[in-house]
């Protein structure tokens, strides 16, 4: 079993510390864990250029060359996902929203259903 932790806050901030605690507990149960800091990745926002058929080929066919396909593969390889992010004015940080728009395209619904 593989568990992926996505940290979207300040390095060694409260959210990342809590995420690491959760992953360490899972590791004690024999779960393979990995953490990815979203702020360390280069994921650009979607430009809605409509040059890629997002519904058919997904993030790997996008004209923007960044780390979005890497993150998509990490998410698809794991069995469980923990997202750790601070809450600003009752919403997640804008960077997490931008990552979700790029990485979790309309194709994500089909992938998670499998």
Provide mean pLDDT across the span 67-74: 90
Asked whether residue 28 carries a pLDDT value surpassing 70, the answer given is yes
Could you tell me the CA-to-CA distances from 95 to 9, 61, 82, 103 in Å, in that order?
Answer: 10, 22, 16, 12
Domain count, the chain: 1
* Residue numbers of the domain that contains 34: 2-113
**Cα(57)–Cα(114) distance, integer angstroms:** 16
Provide mean pLDDT across the span 44-65: 70
Task: Give the length of the chain.
Answer: 114
pLDDT reported for residue 105: 65
pLDDT reported for residue 63: 81
Give Cα 46 to chain centroid, integer Å.
Answer: 15
Q: The domain spanning residue 82 has which CATH number?
A: 3.40.50.360
Q: How confident is the model at residue 37 (pLDDT cuts 50, 70, 90)?
A: very high
Share of the chain above pLDDT 70, in %: 82
Provide mean pLDDT across the span 23-35: 97
pLDDT reported for residue 52: 64
For residue 42, is it left (φ>0), alpha (ψ between -120 and 50) or beta? beta
């Amino acid at each position: 079993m593989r568990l992926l932790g996505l940290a979207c806050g300040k390095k060694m901030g409260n959210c990342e510390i809590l995420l690491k605690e959760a992953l360490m507990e899972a590791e004690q149960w024999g779960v393979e864990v990995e953490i990815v800091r979203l702020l360390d990745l280069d994921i650009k926002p979607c430009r809605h250029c409509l040059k890629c058929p997002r519904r058919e080929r997904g993030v790997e066919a996008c004209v923007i060359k960044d780390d979005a396909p890497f993150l998509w593969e990490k998410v698809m390889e794991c069995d469980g996902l923990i997202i750790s992010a601070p809450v600003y004015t009752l919403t997640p940080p804008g960077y997490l929203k931008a990552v979700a728009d790029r990485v979790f395209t309309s194709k994500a619904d089909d992938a998670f259903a499998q």
